[in-house]
Amino acid sequence: MNLPTPGSCVVPDLPVRTSDEPMEPEQYRYIATHAWWMGTFMGPDPAEPVHVHLSEHLLQQWTPAVQDADWLLDRELTGRVTWLAGSGEAADDAGFDLRDAWPTGRFRAKYGDFYAELHDSAPHRPAGNWATPTPEFLALLPREPGELLARLLADAPQGRTYTGPFRSAVDALRTCSVPADLRAPLYAALLELPAVSLVDEVKDLDGNLCLALVHDAGPTRTELLVDPVDGQYAGERDTLRRDSTCGLVEGTVIAETSVRTAVVPAIGALPVF
């Protein structure tokens, strides 16, 4: 199969050009993620309120140019926690331990199936879909925005009609493996959705300026952050659009990430940003 070669493409009506740095077969794509993700904890007493927190995560991933080679993931919890509902002190008294919810350490596996060993199984190659896009899956997607939007709508999970197409695209983009010639029409397709708009000069978690494709519907407002230099995925931000049942109020940020990528010569090698 002839897979797309690295190149560049202009997004119609968007002030951004998508481009990819070429990768040799022995090279890796390095992906650094700084995240604050939401978690919940319930103690043994059902009468106690649900404790809701944000915890800080640092991830480094090395994705090979040749997909059947080993992948590498370093996952760290910094220990920083912000409590959004309930009480951190009460949660600690009830046995809360942040490490119980998130696997940490270094994981190496084929196909990026990092947690297979934790489940006593062998790593397996994904079938290829929006959540786990293989090079073959991406190569077969249309490059025309209208056709791509039709494909997103056709593949939207049932029961998620207000977030299905947008969420599917974000799932794929989050892997940082979507090539430049597909990212451009994908952004154009998303802007055809009625609840999606473009916002300039949005700051990510680390203060970097990004473009944002904002999906403002349903219970959560999602900002898909895009690097203005190369059109690469740069992170996300999810904000509640209405009060939640566990005591969170409208406007609460429940997830936020900042992502940077680079091509490096070998697995485990670090770039200079």
pTM score: 0.91
Task: Return the pLDDT at 4.
Answer: 38
Instruction: Indicate if the pLDDT at residue 119 is higher than 80.
Output: no
Task: Return the pLDDT at 104.
Answer: 94
Mean pLDDT of the chain, nearest integer: 90
- Long-range own/partner contacts, residues 24-27 (CB < 8 A, 24 or more apart): 24/65, 25/65, 25/66, 26/65, 26/66, 26/265, 26/266, 27/64, 27/65, 27/263, 27/264, 27/265, 27/266
Beta strands in 111-264 (DSSP E): 196-203, 209-217, 220-226, 233-240, 253-264
77-88: average pLDDT: 92
CB 119 within 8 A of CB 82: no
Task: Return the pLDDT at 135.
Answer: 94
Task: Return the pLDDT at 99.
Answer: 83
Lowest-confidence pick of 102-106, 158-162, 187-191:
158-162
Q: What is the pLDDT of residues 5-31, one digit of tens each?
A: 446 676 656 667 899 999 999 999 999
How much of the chain exceeds pLDDT 70, in percent? 92
Would you list the domain boundaries of the chain?
8-264
Task: Return the pLDDT at 46.
Answer: 73
CB 129 within 8 A of CB 171: no
Task: Return the pLDDT at 171.
Answer: 96
Which among 60, 119, 47, 62 has a CA at the least distance from the CA of 259? 60
